[in-house]
Amino acid sequence: MKKLLILLVGLLLILVSCVKQLKPATVIVIDPIRHYYPIIQGEKMSISYELENTSDNPLFIQEIQTSCGCIIPRAELPLVILPHRIGFVNLEYNTIKNNGFVNHYVYCYGNFQDTVAIMLQFDTNVVPSSDYTRDYEQLWTEQTKDLPALRDVINSSISQKGYYTETENNNQDNTVTNNGIEYIVP
């Protein structure tokens, strides 16, 4: 009986000692702060942030917290980005309960080098649908709903990403560092 107990305790100690520590990873976030063009209330907007793992360690994003319940992460967690690879944080924003100017934040928690979380931010104007006079966004939606090729050409153009970013940058390499996270700005 003592031999069995000693064997079980020894086996338990061996299993506990096999824990591998997660090493920190460095990341570059492409356009972390975005300003989207107006959207009609009730529409859904798909948002995708590009993250590049620049380290030799895998990046694990264990949790994504949003500033509003109207933003839903579209990824199974943990999100894993292998070393020297690019990954995406995909979100869906539902405008049904918003009206006017909105500014939202998304916090991604993971094994980042010098911080526990990175912040992603976007804003837009949510335009209420009108009963009598249709505004430009409604007219554009009606005119282009049967022309997906035209919409694809506009949305896939590199110069027309569907959002814009801040243009003030004094660095020549278009990078800004904040809390150890390197951001690329246009």
Spacing of C-alpha 76 from chain mean position: 13
Residue 9 DSSP one-character state: H
Please tell me the predicted confidence (pLDDT) of residue 171: 53
Q: Inform me whether the pLDDT recorded for 16 exceeds 90.
A: no
125-133 long-range Cβ contacts below 8 angstroms, 24+ apart: 125/38, 125/39, 125/100, 125/101, 126/38, 126/39, 126/40, 126/41, 126/95, 126/98, 126/99, 126/100, 126/101, 126/102, 127/38, 127/39, 127/40, 127/41, 128/40, 128/41, 128/99, 129/40, 129/41, 129/42
Q: What is the pLDDT of residues 36-82, one digit of tens each?
A: 999 988 899 999 999 999 999 999 999 999 999 999 999 888 999 99
Better pLDDT: 126 or 168: 126
**CB contact at 8 A, 49 and 32:** yes
Q: What is the pLDDT of residues 86-117, one digit of tens each?
A: 999 999 999 888 889 999 999 999 999 989 99
**CB contact at 8 A, 63 and 31:** no
Q: What is the pLDDT of residues 121-153, one digit of tens each?
A: 999 999 987 665 666 677 677 767 766 554 455
pLDDT, mean over the chain = 80
- Residue 160's φ and ψ, nearest 5 degrees, are -120, 75
Confidence of residue 159 (pLDDT cuts 50, 70, 90): very low
- Specify the CATH number for 27-132+163-184; select among 2.60.40.10, 3.40.1160.10, 3.30.70.1900, 3.40.50.2300: 2.60.40.10
Listed by start position, the domains of the chain span 27-132+163-184
Q: Inform me whether the pLDDT recorded for 14 exceeds 90.
A: no
Please tell me the predicted confidence (pLDDT) of residue 55: 94
Q: What is the pLDDT of residues 21-33, one digit of tens each?
A: 789 999 999 999 9
